[in-house]
Structure 1
Amino acid sequence: MTRLRRWARAYFALQAVAGGAWWVAVFTWPAVREATLGDLDPVAVAVFDIPLFVVASALAAMGFKAAAVVAAGWTTLVATALAVYATITTEAGWGVVVMAAAAAGSLLAVCVVVLDRIPTDWVIRGPFAFRTADARRTVAANVTGTFAQIVVFWGLFLVVIPLVIATLERRWAVGLAVSGFAGVVGVVGVVALVLASGLGIWSAIVMSTLGDGTPLPSSTANRLVIAGPYRWVRNPMALAGIAQGVAVGLILSSWLVIVYAVAGSLVWNYVVRPQEEADLELRFGDQFLRYRRAVRCWVPRRPRSAP
């Protein structure tokens, strides 16, 4: 049995135990029932959830692939249904949070059980597949394209999605009280957002002017860029984006937006970065390997030696 498969089965075992404990709490403590199910009839929900969530997760932990598919599918369905219910009624918000986390874990685990891997390569297909930019494009065209990307991506990932998350957080009544520190937290968020945005713009300009390309994977640089912020850290734009997401969460006083930013950092580090670095090694060979040895991925520092 592979290490990943052991992890997946352990996850389903933990999910089965946690699910069983949750149902005990639902029928024992009214506060838990109200926070996670609202006015839904717990008996009616339990009739379906116990066999399709708790029992199916336990069977998946024993190695039954069909049970893993059932558990993951049911968990995703419940998380979606609870999200709709909580948005309409403002009840069961914590149930949405818990089941959304369970759905994410179940989907990862079922991929391992069924495919024996997590298909990270799916993320960089289509418009996000790695392709070098047209070398005939001028620097001005690359800079223009880069700033167009910034407007689109920052508008989506730093404005639209966080506002939706923060709105749902309030609607689901799962916010954490920071009323006494909201002003200070907001100021810290604004300062962090300005600094992180400055780093992102600086990195984008250096990439588009020196790399003969843009930061977008489908129009990536033709040259390995090791100037500017790239001399101090290998992924300054990713670092800036994560800091921006956390800063927006602070400004909105939304812990779910901060979780969204942290989750994005995990996706980038474990899904996107390995694919990106494999592409850079393929195209630039020893030059990139020397650079990777000299400059850290996340923590800025002066290079040990000239790459």
Structure 2
Amino acid sequence: MTERLGRVYFGMQAVAGLTWWIAVFTVPFVREATLGGLDAVLVAVLDVPLFVGASAIAAFGVRAAAFVATGWTLIVTGLLAVYATVTGEAGWGVLLMGAATVASVVALSLMVLGRVPTEWMLVGPFAFRRADATAKTGAHLAATAAQITVFWGVLLGVVPVVIAWLERRWGLAVDAPTWLLPFGAVVFALASALGIWSAIAMATRGVGTPLPAATANRLVVAGPYRFVRNPMAVAGITQGVAVGLMLGSWLVVVYAVAGGLFWNFVVRPLEEAELEARFGEEFRRYREAVRCWVPTLPGAAALE
């Protein structure tokens, strides 16, 4: 079944690619928005067989063709991103090919492995390891503060600023109303307060940190965890959306939502499996009592 899903995707990609190329040669707006000043004929000579053709062959279960289509899509996305950044053209082409790259990698994994090996993403500093249970609370709080500084600085500072700059450079920016900035600032402040509250609860009640590499030694059902199982994820996604509003960048908002989807479908199942393995029935009762995203009232006070 999973292999068939991968094949179905490549078949859809072949049809979408062929449709796009027809539009490129018949609709000037599509050609300009996705290819800019590139020679469409020259690009088609390579892309039609390696993207459209290889995807069509992959739809029939030929794994080599799936590797070719995925590899070519990745190469085109990288080269097109460089071209768009240098010239300010073909921004929509970068987004479309970027989405195709992610989907192709997933489809290729389904065809070759029969699944998406999400566990490969939680390695090194992101692998699950318990924090030092003998360390003092102050040490866990200090480590948590350092983690917040680094991750918020990179994921909510550097990355959104780069995305917003690329959005403007690639000609994808839209005029945003002026009230979005103060509104986004208020939302960011509230979400940050939730994130800090959650982090403190994790460090003081869980004897650990939010980072998987120094995860808590105890199951935390106090503070915001009484009402929602993943308050830091809720806070982080909301912060990302708020940063997008403050920057007037719809692409940053998409980045935040995509991060939420990634966390929900990739990270959360692994994290919850690890929590169930460590805490067993205690975690199962907590999972039944408190929802993942939508606050549960009165919450898990009885489990504390």
- Identify the TM-score tier after normalising by the shorter chain: over 0.9
Query: Which moves more between the two structures, 251-260 or 150-159?
Result: 251-260
Where structure 2 has 5 or more consecutive residues not aligned to the other structure, the ranges are none
Question: Is the Cα contact below 8 Å between 2:226 and 2:301 reproduced in 1?
Answer: no
**For each residue in 1:179-238, what CA deviation from the matched residue of structure 2 results, as whole angstroms up to 9, or x when unmatched?**
xx2x11112211110010000000000110111111110101000000010000000001
TM superposition shift of 1:123: 1.1
Question: Is the Cα contact below 8 Å between 1:294 and 1:306 reproduced in 2?
Answer: no
TM-score, normalising length: structure 1? 0.96
Where structure 1 has 5 or more consecutive residues not aligned to the other structure, the ranges are none
Q: 2:210 is paired with a residue of what secondary structure?
A: coil
Q: 1:306 is paired with a residue of what secondary structure?
A: helix
Question: Is the Cα contact below 8 Å between 2:228 and 2:295 reproduced in 1?
Answer: yes
Question: Is the Cα contact below 8 Å between 2:237 and 2:260 reproduced in 1?
Answer: yes
Residue type matched to 1:15 in 2? Q
Question: Is the Cα contact below 8 Å between 2:286 and 2:300 reproduced in 1?
Answer: no
TM superposition shift of 1:135: 0.8
Pair 1:248-2:246 in alignment = no
Question: Is the Cα contact below 8 Å between 2:106 and 2:116 reproduced in 1?
Answer: yes
Give the distance between the partners of 1:255 and 1:67, measured in 2 at CA: 35
Residue type matched to 2:192 in 1? S
Query: Which moves more between the two structures, 5-14 or 187-196?
Result: 5-14
- CA, structure 1 residues 9+177, in 2 after alignment: closer, same or farther (shift >3 Å)? farther
**How many pairs align?**
302
1:29 alignment partner in structure 2: 27
TM superposition shift of 1:305: 7.5
Pair 1:64-2:59 in alignment = no
Residue type matched to 1:209 in 2? T
Residue type matched to 1:157 in 2? L
1:39 alignment partner in structure 2: 37
Residue type matched to 2:166 in 1? L
1:196 alignment partner in structure 2: 191
2:87 alignment partner in structure 1: 89
1:258 alignment partner in structure 2: 253
Residue type matched to 2:237 in 1? I
Q: 2:179 is paired with a residue of what secondary structure?
A: helix
Percent identity between the two aligned chains: 62
Q: 2:37 is paired with a residue of what secondary structure?
A: coil
TM superposition shift of 1:304: 7.1
1:268 alignment partner in structure 2: 263
TM superposition shift of 1:306: 2.5
TM-score, normalising length: structure 2? 0.97
1:164 alignment partner in structure 2: 162
1:126 alignment partner in structure 2: 124
Q: 2:133 is paired with a residue of what secondary structure?
A: coil
Residue type matched to 2:281 in 1? D
1:223 alignment partner in structure 2: 218
TM superposition shift of 1:176: 2.6
Pair 1:287-2:282 in alignment = yes
**For each residue in 1:68-114, what CA deviation from the matched residue of structure 2 results, as whole angstroms up to 9, or x when unmatched?**
11000001100110000000011111111111111111111111111
Q: Tell me which of 203, 206, 211 is aligned to 1:208.
A: 203
TM superposition shift of 1:255: 1.1
Q: Tell me which of 126, 138, 141 is aligned to 1:140.
A: 138
Give the distance between the partners of 1:227 and 1:274, measured in 2 at CA: 22
1:277 alignment partner in structure 2: 272
**For each residue in 1:232-266, what CA deviation from the matched residue of structure 2 results, as whole angstroms up to 9, or x when unmatched?**
00000011000001110111111111111111111
